[in-house]
Amino acid sequence: MRILVVDDSAIMRKVIIRELSNLNFDDDDIVEAADGNEALQIAKEKTFSLILMDWNMPNLSGIEALFEIRSAGITTPIMMVTTEAERGQIITAIQAGANNYMVKPFTPEDLKEKLLQILGTLPPPKKEQRVDMSEGKIIQE
């Protein structure tokens, strides 16, 4: 499951990616964008299972990017992850095509619950790998 994480705060992207990794998403399947413009360009070029979109960003905001992505005919599920907590803003985002909405601050449990609502399932636990030194084989457990 490939996920696009859009936030102008590098530390917020790191926090979200850490939580996704804890939920067994593969780091190689997580792509980052630092503003709406970058997100729009990447969303046009690659296919994702989900886009996590901040609202307040420079250059092109999350809500503007959401409009543009939907106008481009891209139907990838999008969840706004934002400090915008007013009911009116949530309605605006949903009407613009957001599939779900999560207000910052959030806990890891909040994120897991929202991901399950959208994706229906989460990646299975990663198999641990160890090397059998006697035979030099990689063993998955």
Least distance in angstroms from the C-beta of 86 to other proteins: 5
Quote the least distance from Cβ 126 to other proteins, whole Å: 18
Interface positions with other proteins (CB under 8 A)? 8-12, 14-15, 18, 56-58, 82-86, 88-89, 103-107
Q: One-letter amino acid identity for 50?
A: L
| Alpha-carbon span 15 to 72, nearest angstrom | 29
Q: Closer to other proteins by CB, 86 or 141: give it.
A: 86
Question: Strand 50-53 and strand 100-103: pairing?
Answer: unpaired
Q: What does the radius of gyration of the chain's CA atoms come to, in whole angstroms?
A: 17
Tokens of 57: 């960003």
CB of 23: closest distance to other proteins in angstroms?
Answer: 14
Q: How far apart are CB 139 and other proteins at their closest, in Å?
A: 29
* Beta strand segments in 1-141, E: 3-6, 30-33, 50-53, 78-82, 100-103, 129-132, 137-140
CA distances from 34 to 14, 58, 97 (A): 12, 9, 21
| 18 vs 126, beta carbon nearer other proteins | 18
Query: Quick one: 34 or 51, whose CB is closer to other proteins?
Result: 34
Which C-beta is closer to other proteins: that of 1 or that of 15?
Answer: 15
